[in-house]
Amino acid sequence: MELFEVPPGAGPSLALHGGAGGRPKVLGLKRPAPYGDGLRAAYAAGWRVLAAGGSALDAVCASVQVLEDDPLFNAGRGAALTATGQAELDASVMTGDGHAGAVAASKYARNPVLLARAVMETEHVLIVDPDLGFLERHGAEAVDRSYFVTEQRQRELDRVLDGRVAAARHGTVGAVARDAAGRVAAATSTGGMVGQADGRVGDSPIVGAGVYARDDVVAISGTGHGEAFICGVVAHDIASRIRYAQAGLADAVRATIETELGRRATTGGVIAVGGDGRIVVAHNSPAMFSARGTGPDPAVTT
């Protein structure tokens, strides 16, 4: 397992991830994909919010929105395609005061994370397959389904369906933050697994599995084999170790990954920010894209 820890700073904290697993090869590109550029742009968007005194929720949504718009990452445009060649997108947000919103199998929202936030502001928590009317009523930008499908992802799907490569079980984006007022928030967004069955939903929109936040405790976003994160209730398990067993953030993250992912013989990773602003990024996969910091210049891992 690889684990990075950033001690608390004097102000806000921000961390984001662009997926865990092996470093993906983007078909059709003639040079290495600029994942680092995308991570830095997403971090900058979130940090601008925090530096201006904005909320942790606004910050994580700003960061994830940038990653959803970047076709290199498995969320929004450029997300993994289902077996029928369509994008079905999942996203969630949660604030440390116990509010959450999520969408699953979203087909039309340009930025699923913003639609998840809109759901949080209703009486509901999770909406499945929101239609165009729902988007219009809640002010979410709609796009044609073809917007999400890129040439690179279509090639990837073809190779999976032909049996030339195994379907990747990783690839999600997310962000966690603690703002100047001490509030925490988390957001997660994904296109799921390449070639997955239509209607399959992973952990990203499931509160307690792929996302969780509680003020003065922790905010968490996960990435990995979604079914394992759901069965292991990974995000909530980390929070419970901190809240009830008084475990340190790094120890709680490490123990949950070893217990809930290791014993299922699967891999993944999490980003977490503690109630004091401490940041932990950890994964038991070969690699994980991340950016984290307590200032405008993040540490970036690709």
Q: How far apart are CA 242 and CA 6, in angstroms?
A: 17
Beta strands in 184-298 (DSSP E): 184-190, 211-214, 218-224, 268-274, 279-283, 287-293
**For tokens 């999976």, what's the residue?**
160
Residue 172 appears among annotated catalytic residues: yes
Is 214 in contact with 135 (CB distance < 8 Å)?
no
If residue 227 lies in a helix (H) or strand (E), which one and from where to where?
helix 226-232
Q: Which residues contact residue 285 at a Cβ distance below 8 angstroms, ignoring those fewer than 6 apart?
A: 20, 21, 22, 170, 224, 267, 268, 269
Report the Cα 274 to chain-centroid distance in Å. 17
Rounded Cα distance, 12 and 16, in Å: 14
d(C-alpha 82, C-alpha 107), whole Å: 12
**Count of helices and strands (H, E) across the chain:** 8, 13
Q: Which of 95, 172, 266, 267 is catalytic?
A: 172
Which residues touch 161 (CB under 8 Å, ≥6 apart)?
83, 195
Instruction: To the nearest 10°, report the CA torsion of 17, 22, 28, 34.
Output: 40
Give start and end residues of each alpha helix (H) in 246-283: 249-256
Beta strands in the chain (DSSP E): 2-6, 13-21, 89-95, 100-106, 126-128, 173-178, 184-190, 211-214, 218-224, 268-274, 279-283, 287-293, 299-301
Q: Just list the catalytic residues.
A: 172
